Amino acid sequence: MTEQIDYVELPARDLGGSKAFYASAFGWSFQDFGPSYAGFADAGIDGGIAADDAAMTTVPLVILKSEDLEGALARVEAAGGTITAPIFEFPGGRRFHFSDPAGNELGVWSE
């Protein structure tokens, strides 16, 4: 198994306002990936801010990286996790979301 924490995604209703806040408070820089998503840099871990209602969670989303996305999905299900978003494509790769038995939602992505 190769999955490790790789990315954190923060939800936002106002992408511009969130970017301004984190740039001012912590000096983060951003790269826009369309009108509703911006990746951040200079934060100590890779991540992004998502303002897309269709994919938005209400809490930060921890994302693991996998070399075998289908295998990771199968292991999550076998271990008792619930798939909350089946494998989908996004700029940069594919990913799925799941809830663990305690109700925490995470994502797994692959290039």
Is the separation of the CB atoms in 90 and 97 below 8 Å?
A: no
pTM: 0.81
Enumerate the domain spans of the chain. Answer: 4-110
Between the two ends of the chain, the Cα-to-Cα distance in Å is: 16
Give the domain 4-110 fold: 2,3-Dihydroxybiphenyl 1,2-Dioxygenase; domain 1 (3.10.180)
Q: Tell me the longest C-alpha to C-alpha distance in the chain.
A: 44
Structure confidence by residue, pLDDT tens digits, 8-57: 999 998 999 999 999 998 999 999 998 999 999 999 899 999 987 665 67
CA of 95: how far to CAs of 32, 67, 107, in Å? Answer: 19, 11, 7
Structure confidence by residue, pLDDT tens digits, 9-18: 999 989 999 9
